Every structure is written in C-alpha cells, then in structure tokens.
Structure 1
Amino acid sequence: MKKYYIALLLLTCFAGAYAQEAEKTEEVAFQAGEQITYKLKYGIFSAAETTIKVENSEQKFFGKPALRIHAVANTLGTFNLLFKVRNQYQTFIDPHTLLPYYYSEERKEGGYKHADKVTFDHTTGTISANSGKYPYSGNVFDFLSAYYFARNVDVSGLKINDKLDMRYFLEDGIHTLTITYLGKEQVKCGLGTFNCLKFNPTIIPGRIFRKNSKLYLWITDDKNRIPVKAHVELIVGSLVMDLTQASGLKYALNPVKK
C-alpha cells in the first residue's frame, strides 16, 4: 500500500464534509471532553482504529486560549504484520473561530517515518512547516481542524449535487478537496442507525484507488454533525470507516428507533 494511506483516508473521511466558503454556525457543535473512535475495516477484517479527543489546552497561541484535538491511528491484528501503522496527530484551534494555530504529526507507516510541525499565522497569512513557508489567504486548515470546523458549517441551504470546496495544508502545500452533496439517507454504524447527510468527496486515482473509485461519507443530520461511516473503493476490495464509540458529546446522539 502507498505510504500515507492512513493519513490520506483520514483526511478525506474527516475533512471531506463541507466547504470553508460556507458560513459557520454561531453555536459550536462540540466541547472539551469529547472522545470518538472509528474502526477501519477491509472486507470482514478490522484493519485499523482511530481515536480523537478534544480537551482544553493550557498553552496559548498569539496570547489567545486554544482547544487541543489529538488523534491516534493504529493498525490492528494481522495488519500489523502486513503494514504496521502508528500515527499521532494534534491540532490547536481557536475555540471561537475554530481556525488552527498549530498542527503536528508523527507518522510511522511500515518502514516509512515522517514528522511535521505546522504553524498558521493568520495575521501575516503565512503557514510555516518543516518543508518551508507558504503564503495563504482565506481559511486553510490541517485535516483535524478541517474536520471540526466542518461540523459547524451551516448546511441548511445545500441542494442535491451542490459542489463545495475546502482548502487544507498537507506536508508541502495547500490543496483543494471538492465535495458533492448527495442528499439525506439513513445509515447503520456501530452505535446504531442514524439519519444522515450523504457526501461524495473526490479522490485521486493511484496505487490505492481506481480511476472510477468512489468515496461516500455519512454525517449525522443533527447538532453533533459527526461522521458515522465512510466507504471507499480500492483497486482491490474496499475500506469502511465506522463510528464505534462516542462520549463527552455536547448533544446526545439520537439513533433511529426501530
């Protein structure tokens, strides 16, 4: 498998929900103390698990308070023998604007290792990373801050087949992800069945994805706006990311009653 595949899948599944051009809702959808866990399955086999935590940070940035979001992604079982992954990511965001101040990652994927530290200076419009400095304007995110910002975007005006763009920084540049809204649908995950909004983020074909591979993402149609499931087609088989645990949520989850 191509190196970075866990990071790229997390990026498309977590960040690929809404566009940064849309307006953010006034009320924030999450709070410190939230913890959610996803399991990644290849066919019937559990391949990896990711846990994301939100907490108040004692560290300030540019003299302002911040929330720390920390994610850990590890392969499971026999996949540790095939392609062992031990990745950690963290981002510090403004609790009101939800824009990132600082992002870091430590990735160990098979024999590949990578670490990065990224600072977002919104005053000068400069991103500073290990690979250099990058000017920007408007909203640009790392994948973790993109995920949490996306959960707070007003989607009430979306129509089926509307296309949205979101910009994110990854490793050595600013990239754009295009997402198509496909409507509403009920979907089952590890925590029950939920009324969801369905999206189709674009993916780039290569050593993992076919030319016509599709990625589908389902987000709860409630105040939490949590991604509960993602399904992506690979050159061989498919991967499913499934929500298996959620605690410390600002709003109670409301699965569909049968």
Structure 2
Amino acid sequence: MLLFVTVFTQAQNSAVGNSEKLTYTASYNMSGILTDLAEVTMQTSEVKTSSATLLRLKCTATTYSKWDSFFKIRDLYESYVSPKTLTPYLYKRDISEGGYYKFMQYKYSHKTGTVKSLKRKKRKDGKFWEENKTIKIGSATRDLVSTLYKLRTLDFSSYATGTTKSFTVIFDNEENTVNFRYLGTETINTSIGKKNCYKLAISLSNSDVLKGSNDNLIWLTADSNKIPVYAKFKIPVGNGELKIKSATGLKN
C-alpha cells in the first residue's frame, strides 16, 4: 500500500483547534435539480482520558425533517486523535440510513501496526450480529475522518499546480488509497463571505466509487485554518454538493 511522504507524516497541527464547529448544507441532484436534503456538521472538542488529552473529531449527517419519511439519515463518524499530530487512536462509525444500520469501531495499536475492528449490523429479522477482527495496517494508515482533518495541516502554498498527495485510509476493514491533486487557488462566494481557496481534486485508486477525473472537488480556505467551504461529488448513483453555512471556534 501507499506510504505517506515524510513531510506529511511529520506535519504538526496548526490549523485545527478544540472548539471548532463547521455546519454545511448537503444537496443531491434529484431529477436534474440540486435539492437540499441534509445538514452536515464537523465539530471538535477536547477529551481527557486517564493517560492523555485527545481531540475528538465528530462528523454528523442528518436529513431535514421533510425528507425523513422518504429516506431518513442519522449518521455519526468520529475519530479520537492526538491534538498535535492528529494521529488516530479510536474511530467510530454509526450509520442509520433508510432502515439500514451499521456500526464500525477501530482501536488502533500503533506499536504493533494493527487495528482491532468491531462490526455490528442489523439483520432482516431486527436482531444484531457482531464481527471482531484484528487487521494489519501500514504505519501511516488512518480512518476517513482523521484523514480529512490531517489534510488541513499540509502547506499547499508550497505546492506546484498538479501536485498529488496520497493517503492510505482504512474503510470497512480494507485499506484504500485516496488521492488529492492540487489544482491551484480559486476565489469563491460562500455563506461566510468571499474566500480565496485551495482547490483539490479527489480520486480513489482501483475503485469506481468516485466518477470522473475532476468531478469530485473540495475547496479549502487559503489561510491558516484551511477549512473546507465547498465540495462537489459524483458517484455511480448521482451527484451532489456540500456548502458551508457557518463556521465558529476557529483556531486562527
């Protein structure tokens, strides 16, 4: 699997604080019209354990009430990481989508290069089944949530247009390679003002989950916070957007 470049692995967190809250509107193309379907939040908080102080990265997705009868979504993704390096120690994914339920948990052991995985799903009869595994991972492998936040620690101002950074992400007990290609800067209008942004294209190696070469994009503010303010995605069943509504508690 792909390894992180040294500069990425050692990058320290100067962008993400412990009281940040970002709120977004998620839209999906329905019959040719982009329709606002859900609210997405990304929130950080400090968590103290008996041995360390961690940063909780919490992401939620909730359909607006008028769409609940059509396809109700109540998703939670969270990662508990080092505040300095954003190295993950615990990850949880708890999703409920239109009657489908799934829970995933990863406990990282960086000394042994393994993850203890717990999967829980609901059967058709309403009962639950569980699966426990120990999975070998690479030294730089992390979950999806901590990867999104780690992306914000990169120094895009030093990148030439076309530079690609790749990340190894564990998802559904499998390691996948996620690629971000730097497309330069672009100024866009958002609900929190006009922002000069770093524009990135996203792709997955050996996967057709994301369609097109430049159809999956994310814009991060070109400042010391590097918060995501806009994203476009195209998947086999359609396309959509994510637009920021508000941003509070920023570190810088």
TM-score normalised by the chain length of structure 2: 0.83
Q: Counterpart of 1:146?
A: 147
Q: Counterpart of 2:113?
A: 125
Q: Counterpart of 2:124?
A: none
Structure 2 residue aligned with 1:107, among 95, 102, 108?
A: 95
Q: 1:211 to 1:217 in 2, by over 3 A?
A: closer
Q: Counterpart of 2:245?
A: 244
Q: Counterpart of 2:42?
A: 52
Q: Counterpart of 1:228?
A: 229
Choose between structure 1 and 2: higher strand proportion: 2
CA contact (8 A) 1:104 1:115 kept: yes
CA distance in 2, matches of 1:94, 1:74: 27
Structure 2 residue aligned with 1:205, among 203, 208, 214?
A: 208
CA distance in 2, matches of 1:205, 1:147: 20
Q: 1:210 to 1:249 in 2, by over 3 A?
A: closer
CA distance in 1, matches of 2:57, 2:244: 17
Q: 1:68 to 1:108 in 2, by over 3 A?
A: same
Equivalent runs, 1:33-44 vs 2, <5 Å: 33-42=19-28, 43-44=33-34
CA distance in 1, matches of 2:94, 2:216: 26
Q: 1:84 to 1:51 in 2, by over 3 A?
A: same
Q: Counterpart of 1:134?
A: 135
Q: Counterpart of 2:15?
A: 29
- Which structure has the bigger radius of gyration? 2
CA contact (8 A) 2:114 2:137 kept: yes
1:225 alignment partner AA: K
Q: Secondary structure at the match of 2:69?
A: helix
RMSD in angstroms over aligned alpha carbons? Answer: 2.2
Q: Counterpart of 2:160?
A: 159
Deviations 1:214-248 (A, max 9, x none): 11111111000111100123557631101111111
Q: Counterpart of 2:80?
A: 92
Task: Return 5+ residue gaps in structure 1 as ranges.
Answer: 1-18, 252-258
Q: Counterpart of 1:8?
A: none
CA contact (8 A) 1:47 1:79 kept: yes
TM-score normalised by the chain length of structure 1: 0.81
Q: 1:236 to 1:101 in 2, by over 3 A?
A: closer
2:64 alignment partner AA: L
CA contact (8 A) 1:213 1:233 kept: no
Q: 1:171 to 1:27 in 2, by over 3 A?
A: closer
CA contact (8 A) 2:11 2:85 kept: no
Q: 1:212 to 1:168 in 2, by over 3 A?
A: closer
CA distance in 2, matches of 1:111, 1:212: 33
Deviations 1:161-188 (A, max 9, x none): 2222111111221111112111111112
Q: Counterpart of 1:184?
A: 185
CA distance in 2, matches of 1:145, 1:126: 17
Q: Counterpart of 1:116?
A: 104
CA contact (8 A) 2:13 2:85 kept: no
Higher relative CO (Cα under 8 Å, sequence separation at least 6) belongs to: 1
Does structure 1 residue 65 correspond to structure 2 residue 68?
no
CA contact (8 A) 2:20 2:44 kept: yes
CA contact (8 A) 2:89 2:108 kept: yes
CA contact (8 A) 1:25 1:154 kept: no
Q: Counterpart of 1:215?
A: 216
